[in-house]
Amino acid sequence: MGAQSNAAPVIIKRKKVVGGDGHHGGAWKVAYADFVTAMMAFFLLMWLLNATTEKQRKGLADYFSPDIPISRTSAGGDGAFGGISPFAEDTLTRMGTGATDRHPSVANQAQGRFGVALEGRETSPDKELASIEEALQGRGGESLVSTELSKHIVTRVTDEGLIIELFSTEDSRLFKPDSANPTDLFRRLIRMIGQVSNRVNNPIAITGHLRSRPVVLAQNPVWELSTARAGTTRELLESSGVSSARIRRLTGHADRNPTEDNPMSVRNNRVEITILRR
């Protein structure tokens, strides 16, 4: 009979390792991160579409356009743009490429050859309004406005159209004090504006503004007076040859929209005649 062994049996445990898949793996995290990134980009796109105008969206689309605007004139460079960047507002390139206006409007800022210009047209859609502004400012030659009248005129182009602002000064007023009776200066201004505005048939909007009063009145007439001055402007424009059908809007803003830091400045007594875009 053999000797009995007291040694414990050796047990070998083999563990089968299986590659992670399903919810045990990490691939789903990458897919989820891509999904969250895509959703964030989508909501950002929706916000941009809601927060921008049509012209701004066209500008963004043109920025990513594959078309390469080639400059038709050279400034000495040998690159595709001839040394001129069509996207720089401080560069006044020639022949209509790039920012060709020293004071460009929102519609044609740095639009270049492939900007927001209408198809088949080489000129800006604001050409007619720009011609009126040039006539008032004397940029295209001799001004139609005398030196005396030009001191009371400021023009600017906005998304709404060309705004012709007529304002009073300390020495020369557009209306008699606290009334809608025009002065001879204002009559001459309106006759000139009527003559120039008849170059186009765009609709017209008129807005009256007043300066604030030094004291608070129980019955402050600024609303009625600003509206009455806008109405007087309409009558004078129509008498100067402007068709009544072109007048689209009359509004009075009282003293709610001053142009000067001092709300009681005489400069805030003004009338804005807007030649609207068609």
Secondary structure in 3-state letters for the chain: CCCCCCCCCCCCCCCCCCCCCHHHCCHHHHHHHHHHHHHHHHHHHHHHHHHCCHHHHHHHHHHCCCCCCCCCCCCCCCCCCCCCCCCCCCCCCCCCCCCCCCCCCHHHCCCCCCCCCCCCCCCCCCHHHHHHHHHHHCCCCCCCCCHHHHCCEEEEECCCEEEEEEECCCCCCCECCCCCCECHHHHHHHHHHHHHHCCCCCCEEEEEECCCCCCCCCCCCHHHHHHHHHHHHHHHHHHCCCCHHHEEEEEECCCCCCCCCCCCCHHHCEEEEEEECC
> Greater confidence, 205 or 98?
205
pTM for the model: 0.55
Q: What is the mean pLDDT of residues 138-162?
A: 78
pLDDT reported for residue 174: 95
pLDDT reported for residue 40: 94
pLDDT 10s digits, 98-142? 444 444 444 444 444 333 444 444 445 468 888 888 888 765 545
* Residue 48: pLDDT over 70: yes
pLDDT reported for residue 172: 92
pLDDT grade, residue 92 (50/70/90)?
Answer: very low
Average pLDDT value for the chain? 77
pLDDT grade, residue 266 (50/70/90)?
Answer: very high
pLDDT reported for residue 112: 41
d(C-alpha 43, C-alpha 49), whole Å: 10
Percentage of the residues of the chain whose pLDDT score is greater than 70: 68
pLDDT reported for residue 134: 82
Strand partners, 161: 276
Helix axes 184-197, 127-137, angle to 10 degrees: 140
Main-chain dihedrals φ then ψ at residue 136, nearest 5 degrees = -75, -35
pLDDT grade, residue 66 (50/70/90)?
Answer: low
Q: What angle do CA 78, 84, 87 make, to 5 degrees?
A: 135
Q: What is the mean pLDDT of residues 173-183?
A: 95
Q: What is the mean pLDDT of residues 54-60?
A: 80
pLDDT grade, residue 60 (50/70/90)?
Answer: confident
pLDDT 10s digits, 11-36? 777 766 655 555 556 788 888 899 99
pLDDT 10s digits, 214-223? 877 777 889 9
| Token representation of residue 262 | 């001092």
> Domains (ranges, CATH) in the chain?
53-69+77-123 (no CATH), 126-276 (3.30.1330.60)
